[in-house]
Structure 1
Amino acid sequence: MALQSVFVITFVLFSCVNALSSNYYDQTCPDAESTIRQVVKKAMSNDKTVPAALLRMHFHDCFVRGCDGSVLLNSTKNNQAEKDGPPNISLHSFYVIDVAKKQIENMCPGVVSCADILALAARDAVTLSGGPYWAVPKGRKDGRISIASETRQLPGPNFNISQLQQSFSQRGLSLDDLVALSGGHTLGFSHCSSFRNRIENFDSKNDVDPSLDASFAANLKKICPVKNTTKNAGATMDTTTFLFDNAYYKLILQKKGLFSSDSTLLTNSRTKTLVLNFANSQHEFFKAFADSMIKMSSISGSGQEIRHDCRFVN
């Protein structure tokens, strides 16, 4: 625990040292952002799940070692990388970052980091799905270390409010950031394993989590039966699967949040107030989400280089 605390303090300090800038590539690679946007747009036209994948990938990158692109590195003979850690097995669409990197390397070799490409791609995924736009701070360097076991630091779908608060605060993020960033769950799909704890043997008194709407829980049980659950079975995160909006918060208030970590936002007075605010005002949610994404994506690690290939260190 002490080592983890030292590590967290280290990369939070790095975020203060390595100042980022929204116009970092204006002179050295002015077409970088438009190139990334077109790559994301094309990928989305072929696969509607790309936005959720890129947003989750960026989040998982930043919460382990800071936003240094370490989640993009492949495992080697002597090391299992983050992307092969248990919480990241379902990450996908790495090819989008690869395509963008290749195009940018052809234009501006050795200039734009993989970590910056991922941060920009996540922003474009949100914007192109109907969500807010924000000026992404840039200037990250790519890390050379990626360790699968460190993905255990990622906040889990079963976390309660205290565990979530601790996880976010260790990274310099507040309760307000927690609620705003949780809104990213408006995109995507979850496998049964991430919410089975709520619909089966919940505790000594209840088979089903009593904080779940009964009809919603019954439907989840049909999708994820105790026996014979197919490998890819699961549920969408909200009712507007491919649209970035505030439906997620409305569903939480209806006791239809998919994860324990969603429903637990109603157990704290501050977070519950924010859920209500965001459910009532998409404008307020969008503003808060953009602000919190800038804050989260500015958590820098100990990146040292601009990778030529995002899957391998130089």
Structure 2
Amino acid sequence: MARIVVVGSINMDLVTTVKRRPEPGETVSGEKFSLVPGGKGSNQAIAARRAGGEVGFVGAVGDDVFADELRRVLVDAGVGVSRLRRAHGPSGVAAIIVDDGGENSIIVVGGANSRLTTLDEDDLEAIAQADVLLCQLEIPLPTVLQAARHARAHDTTVILNPSPVRELPEQVWAEIDIAVVNEGEAAQLGAALDAVPHVITTLGADGAIYRGPDGITLPQPGVRVEVVDTTGAGDTFTGALAAHWPDGPEIALAWACTAGALATTKLGASASIPTRNAIERLLSR
């Protein structure tokens, strides 16, 4: 199994389903409300584990009512939590609205994730021993840079999902081996991605496309499923990609597209992440 360390966020998702999302200033009636553990880091860690990786998580929860449940969902998924610390104050939360078409709008409040401001020696040792480091941008950027630099110094492959998308300094891009972006993020980041050797752009239902260091592109078709909720699809894609990156880009893309498609067939981010057996069954069709 690939050894993966995820340095990232963990949130409680407050998910409301509606027939259609409200316009500015408008109130609409919701159909259902759920509390679902999530956060890009946690979702990607669980996805990598369920896709077959050996995964450890570096992050922070608060000291509120959500903290124990957020830790439990990682433990139940088989993700290592020895580097998950508890910070004073609230855990991270995300308010999510999902409409009848499965499209979503999300507001994230960082909470404890914002207080993950440095990595200690044990965190860095875990990164050094991993095959892959996986990061996102829901934690402080200096922490992402610290993790990536340490990984590169110890021949650990660095995957960055630069979301929520923002302009990043050149010193960050210089430490990244693989960037995973959606079409909107790719357009916003533009030429900055040229500095990254491997870039995977997700295309929703149409799959994904890979661009390698030689400039050659490899398309991966999408998998047709009945969409219920797209909230966790990108994170599931990224986690599965990380789990299978050591097998080569073509295999990793196939796993990622299949896992991402399956993630849209259920409501909620972490609850929708498919198991390895489910992914393998669909891959074999």
Relative contact order, CA 8 A, sep 6+: which one is greater? Answer: 1
Q: Same fold (TM over 0.5)?
A: no
TM-score by length of 1: 0.27
